[in-house]
Amino acid sequence: MSQLAAHLETPPTTEVMLSVNDLKVSFPTDDGLVEAVRGVSYEVNRGEVFAIVGESGCGKSVSTMALMGLLPKTARIEGHATYLDQDLLGIPERDARSIRGSRVSMIFQDPMTSLNPVYTIGRQLAEAVLAHHRVAPKVAMERAIEMLDVVGIPQAKTRAKSYPHEFSGGMRQRVMIAMAIINDPDVIIADEPTTALDVTVQAQILETLLEAKEKVGASIVLITHDLGVVAGVADRVGVMYAGRFVEMGDVNEIFHATRMPYTAGLLGSIPDLDSDVEALTPIEGSPPSLINPAPGCKFRARCPMARARCAEEEPALAATDRPGHTAACFFSDELIGDPNASEIFKPEWTERTVQ
C-alpha cells in the first residue's frame, strides 16, 4: 500500500472531551454506606451525544454531579475524571471552578431550583458570563439576549427583563439551555432536562438542546430514565443499573442488538405508537438496596434469564460479539439473533424456557 493510501485509510481521530475512569461514590448514612456509584467508566468524544439511561436511583445524577463538584461534603468519591487533559476530581476548588460552568456546564430537571426568583432572567444569564469573563456588564447582557434568541425565546430583549415566575416551564428550561451554552462549553451535562415538562414540550426542548449543542459545537451527556428519548438523539448509550453500567454501545446496537436482559426490559417498557398499551411489558420488582448489596449480578432477582452463577459473582462489563458494544451478563450470547429481546419478560417466554 502506498503511503498516501495508508494515510487516506487512517480514520479521522476522535478527540475525547470527557473521560471518566472507575468512578465510585458512596455516602455514609445512619443505615450504613450507600454505594451509589460502583465503578463507572466512559468517554465522550467531541460533538457526540452520550446518553446515560436507567431507572430512578441507579446513580445517574450522583455520577455526574461528582464531576461538577455538586455532591455534599459527606460523599466519598474515588476514581478519575478528566475534561480534555485537565483533572476534574481531587483538584482545588478554584481550579475546578474555571472548568465547571464554563467548559463543562450542566442543565437540571427542575429549572426553578437553578434560577433565582428575585433577579431577572437577563441579569442571571449576564452574571454567568461575568463569572468567567472580564467584560463590561453591557456586553454580558448583550450576550444574554443573544442566547435567549438562540434558544427560541421570542422578543428576547424584552423577555430578558422578566422574572423566572413569568415564564412557563418550557420557557424556563430554554433559559437553562441558554445558561448552559452562554460560555461556549465543550461538554453539556443535561440531567433529565425534559422530564418535568409535558410530552409535546419535551420534544421541542430536546430539539432546542440539540440545536444549541450544534451552535457551540459541544458534546452532550444526556441523562434520562426513558430509553425512548434517546432514539434519534444519542450517538452512544450507556445503560446503568444499581450504580454501574450494564450495557454500552452505539444507539442502534442498544436498540437492535441488545445483549443485556435489563436493557431488553427497558425496551419492553417503551410505549410503541404502532401498537396498543397492552404490548408494554414492564420489568417486575425494583432495584436492590445499595447498602451492603448482595454479591452477584444486581439484576438477577428481576431477570428471567438468571441462573445459579449470577448469584455467585457480578459479571464485568465485557466485550460482546459486536464491535464497540459491551455488556455485563454471563449469558448475553443467548440474546444473539433475537430481534425482539424484550420478549424474555413476557410470561410465555418464562413458561417456554423454565421446565
Nearest CA among 134, 170, 164, 136 for reference residue 152 = 170
Q: Which parts of 39-78 interact with ligand ATP (CB under 6 A)? A: 54, 56-62, 72
Helix axes 121-130, 169-181, angle to 10 degrees: 20
Q: Which of 40, 290, 297, 344 binds ligand ATP (CB under 6 A)?
A: 290
Indicate the residue type of 142: E
Residue 61, interface with Mg ion (CB under 5 A)? yes
* CB distance 211 to 292 below 8 Å: no
The gap from C-alpha 206 to its chain's centroid, in whole angstroms, comes to: 13
Residue 303, interface with ligand ATP (CB under 6 A)? no
The entry of Mg ion, ligand ATP, none near residue 218 (CB within 5 to 8 angstroms by kind) is none
Rounded least distance, CB 191 to Mg ion, Å:
6
- Looking at 3-11, 16-24, 26-34, 213-221, which segment touches ligand ATP (CB under 6 A)? 26-34
Q: Which is nearer to ligand ATP, 62 or 305 (CB)?
A: 62
User: What phi and psi, each to the nearest 5 degrees, are found at residue 100?
Assistant: -70, 135
Binding-site string for ligand ATP from residue 218 to residue 247, where x marks contact by CB under 6 A and - marks none:
-------x----------------------
Rounded least distance, CB 280 to ligand ATP, Å:
19
Q: Which parts of 186-225 interact with ligand ATP (CB under 6 A)? A: 225
Pairing of strands 244-250, 76-83: unpaired
Size of the site for ligand ATP (CB under 6 A): 15
Residue 63, interface with Mg ion (CB under 5 A)? no
How far apart, in Å, are the Cα atoms of 127 and each of 16, 111, 116, 123, 326? 30, 17, 12, 6, 43
Residue 332, interface with Mg ion (CB under 5 A)? no
The footprint of ligand ATP (CB under 6 A) covers 27, 29, 34, 36, 54, 56-62, 72, 225, 290
Please report, as ranges, the residues that interact with Mg ion according to CB under 5 A: 61
